[in-house]
Amino acid sequence: MHDHAAEASLFKRRALFTFVCVVILLGILLSNLYHLQIVSYTDYETRSNDNRIRVVPVPPSRGLIYDRHGKLLAENQPFFALELIPEKVKNIQETLTRLSQIIPLSAEEQEKFTESLKYHRRFKPLILKTSLTEEQVAQFSVNQHEFPGISVVAGLKRHYPHQGLLTHALGYVGRINDRDKLRLQQAGEWKDYAGTKYIGKQGIEKFYETLLHGKPGHLEEEVNNRGRTIRTLKSVPPDPGQDIYLTLDLELQKKAFELLDGRRGSVVAIDPRDGGILAMLSSPTYDPNQFVHGISSKAYGELLNSRSRPLINRATQGQYAPASTIKPHLALLGLDENTITAKTRIWDPGFWQIPGVERKYRDWKRWGHGWVDVNTALIGSCDTYFYDLAYKTGVDKIASFMQPFGFGERTGVDIFEESAGIMPSKDWKRMRYNQPWYIGDTISVGIGQGYWTTTPLQLANAAAIMANKGKRFVPHMLKSIKDNTSKIDSPVDEKAPIVLNDQKNWDIINESMMNTAHKSRFKDAGYTAAMKTGTAQVFSVAEDEKYDAETVDEFLKDNALIIAYAPYENPTIVLAVVLENAGWGGANAGPVARALLDEYMLRDSLEFNQ
C-alpha cells in the first residue's frame, strides 16, 4: 500500500532542491552576464575592437635642412620598396629565387634579408629591397599575384642633393637598429617612432633629431577575419618635423670643396659676431646617400680601410699640432704677463739654447732673423723668439691662459662628433704618462709642437676670439627653426669675455697679424685682412738632421696651416685651414685662405659687376 503522505513529502523536497539549484544556476548566469556586460564591458569591447580595428601608424615627414640663404641641403624624395610578410610566404628561399628572375636580388641582399629574419616577428612586414626603379615596380605589379605576402610600398627617403659636399656637417640618416631602439626605449621615446624606419646617425641629423623627426599619426581601419581592410574609421595626421636653417654658407662651402679638391685636410670658417659656422669641410669626403638605405659591405669596407680616412670629420675630430698659428696667442700671454713688452727685443742667430745646456733648438730660418721684437717675430714667425718666451713663461701659465681660448676642451658645437684635443701641462703629463715635465717639453709647446694638439674648429674659434678682442661665442650651425606657422631664430650662446690686464695688448697682436697678411698673401687684396701661418712637423727630426721633403713618406710630410680673418677693422669671417702633409703653410694653405676670403668678401661686388 502506497504511503501517499511520504511520497508527497519526498516530491516536495526534490522539487524544492531542484528549484534551489535552478535559482542558483540562474544567479550564476545572471552574475556572469553582469560581469561580462557591465563590469568587464570596456575590456571585452577593446578586445573585440582589436580583432576588428587595426591601428596603422603613419610616420611623419622629416624636416628639411637649408643653409643661411634658404638653399636646400637635405630633402625627402619618394621611393618604392619591396616588403615581405614572412608568415604569408610558405617557402621563402624558393620565393626569393623566383623573385630574383623578375627583380635582381644580389647574393648579399638575400643573405642580409635571411639574417634579418632570425630576429624578426613573422607577422610583421620586412623590407626585402629598397630603391626600386619605376620599371621594376611595373614588372613586379604584373606578376604580383604569383607572390602572396610580397608587396610594393611607397615612402619618403632622405636625399642629400649636394652628395659629399656637406657630409661631415649634416651627417646622415640610417635604418633604426637594435642599439637605436634600446636607446629610444630607455629614453621613453620609442612610441614616437611608430612606423618610422630611419633615424639621424651623425652630424646635424643626429644632434637635432628631436626637431627634425616630428610626431607620428595613425589610421584606424576596420578589418575582416582575414585581416583585409574594409574601411577607414579614423585618421590622425602626423606632425611633420620642423625645418631648420643652418648658419652654413653653401657657396663658401662649395669654394672650400673646390680648393681642397680631394686633398686631406679641413676648412672651418666662423662668423665672429655670433659664432655661426659659415663653412665646415673635411676632405676627402663621401656620399651620405649610400648610407640612407644601407651601404654594401664592400663599399663600407673601402671607406673604413682607406688610408685617407674619409669617415673621420677632420674639422672636429682631426688632431693636429697647431704650430706657428698659436704664436699670436703666446705673444698675447707674454704681453699680459709683462714677460715682454711691445719693444722687447732678442737676438736670433738661428737657434736658441736653454741656459747651461748644449742642445740647440733650431729656428726655421737657419741663419736667423737678427734682432726681433714681438711684431717682427710674428711677421717672420721667428721660432727663437717664442722658444725664449715659452721658457720664461712656463707651461702651466701657458696652459692656464690658453684654456679660455678653447684649447684642450670641446667647443660645444652642435654635432656629437668632436674631440677635445690636448692642452698639455705638468699635471696632464703626470696623469697621462706618469712622467715628469721637462724644460724641453715647454720649448716645443712654445712653437705649437710637442704634446699640444688642436682641431681645426678649435683653431678657428681661438682665432675668432683674438679677432673679437676677447669676446666669445659657442660655435654653432643652427640659425633658426621653422614649423607650420613661423620661423624662430636660435638664441646665440655668448660666453664671458676674456679680459686682459691691459686691453691694448689685443691691438698690438692684431696689428701684427694684419702686417703679416699685407706683407705677404693679402698685400693686393681689396680688403684688409689679418693672418698667421704655420708648418707643423708630423714627426721629430734629430738636432743634427735636416728635414728632406723629397725623401719623406707622403703621410709624414709637414702639415700646412693658416688662420685668417677679414675685414681687419670689423671682422665678419674668421677661418682656419689645415692641409695634411702639404708642406709649407704659407705656400700651400695660404692660397686656399686667400681664395676663400676673396669669395666671401668680394662676392657682393662681383655679383654687382656681373
What is residue 489's predicted lDDT score, i.e. its pLDDT? 85
- Tell whether 266 and 362 lie within a shared domain: yes
Low-confidence stretches of the chain (pLDDT beneath 70) = 1-2, 40-54, 119-123, 221-233, 539-555, 604-610
pTM for the model stands at 0.83
- If asked whether residues 159 and 232 sit together in one domain, one would say yes
Q: Considering the domain boundaries, does residue 45 fall inside one? A: no
Helix-helix angle 456-467:504-518, to 10 degrees: 120
Distance CA 160, CA 170 (A): 9
**Confidence at residue 466, expressed as pLDDT on a 0 to 100 scale:** 96
3-state secondary structure of 496: coil
Q: Is residue 48 part of a domain?
A: no
| Total of domains in the chain | 3
d(CA 479, CA 70) in angstroms, rounded, equals: 11
State the catalytic residues.
Answer: 324
Binding residue numbers for Zn(2+): 348, 363, 369, 382
159 and 98 in a common domain: yes
Cis peptide before 86 (omega within 30 of 0): no
Regarding whether 298 and 173 lie in a shared domain, the answer is no
d(CA 467, CA 448): 19
Last residue of a domain, one of 211, 246, 281: 246
Which of the 8 DSSP states describes residue 434? Answer: S
- Indicate the pairing of strand 217-223 with strand 150-159: unpaired
Is residue 44 one of the residues assigned to a domain? no
> Would you tell me how many other CB atoms lie within 10 Å of the CB of residue 29?
10
Question: In whole angstroms, what is the distance from residue 215 CA to residue 212 CA?
Answer: 10
Cα–Cα distance between 175 and 292 in angstroms, integer? 7
Are residue 163 and residue 217 in the same domain, yes or no?
A: yes
Looking at the fold, whether 511 and 414 belong to one and the same domain comes out as: yes
| Residue 298 included in any domain | yes
CA 260 to chain centre: 21
List the CATH number of the domain containing 541: 3.40.710.10
C-alpha distances in Å from residue 197, one per residue of 118, 193, 276, 586:
18, 8, 32, 48
Does a structural domain hold residue 46? no
Query: Rounded to the nearest 10 degrees, what angle do helices 383-393 and 395-402 cross at?
Result: 100
Going by the annotation, the residues of the binding site are 348, 363, 369, 382
Is residue 51 assigned to a domain? Answer: no
Cβ neighbours, 10 Å, residue 336: 18
Regarding whether 407 and 482 lie in a shared domain, the answer is yes
Strand, helix or coil for residue 493:
coil
pLDDT at 607: 47
Residue 394 confidence (pLDDT): 94
d(CA 89, CA 147): 8
Residues 337, 216, single domain; the answer is: no
User: What does DSSP assign to residue 450?
Assistant: T
- Do 107 and 172 fall into the same domain? yes
Q: Are residue 240 and residue 254 in the same domain, yes or no? A: no
Whether residues 230 and 254 share a domain: the answer is no
CATH number of the structural domain spanning residue 167: 3.90.1310.10
* Intra-chain end-to-end CA distance of the chain, in Å: 136
Could you tell me if 227 and 120 lie in one domain?
A: yes
Is 112 within a domain?
Answer: yes
Where is the domain boundary, 246, 280, 308? 246
Distance from C-alpha of 464 to C-alpha of 48, rounded to nearest angstrom:
66
Q: Where are the alpha helices (DSSP H) in 198-347?
A: 203-207, 209-213, 250-260, 289-292, 297-305, 314-317, 327-336
277 near 270, Cβ under 8 Å? Answer: yes
What is the pLDDT, as a whole number, of residue 542?
46
Q: Are 62 and 157 in contact (CB under 8 A)?
A: no
Q: Considering only CA atoms, give the Rg of the chain.
A: 35
Domain that holds residue 597: 250-609
Of the candidates 471, 508, 286, 255, the residue with the CA atom closest to the CA atom of residue 379: 508
Contact assessment for residue 175 and residue 181, using Cβ atoms and an 8 Å cutoff: no
Number of other CB atoms surrounding residue 513 within 10 Å: 25
Query: Is residue 47 situated within a structural domain?
Result: no
Of 228, 246, 264, the domain-final residue: 246
Three-state SS for 394?
coil
Nearest to 458 by CA among 598, 255, 270: 270
- Nearest Cα neighbor of 416 from 203, 213, 167 is 203
Distance between CA 282 and CA 421 in Å, rounded? Answer: 17
Residue-wise over 350-387: b if at least 16 C-beta within 10 A, else e?
bbbbbeeeeeebbbbeeebbeebbbbbbbbbbbbbbbb
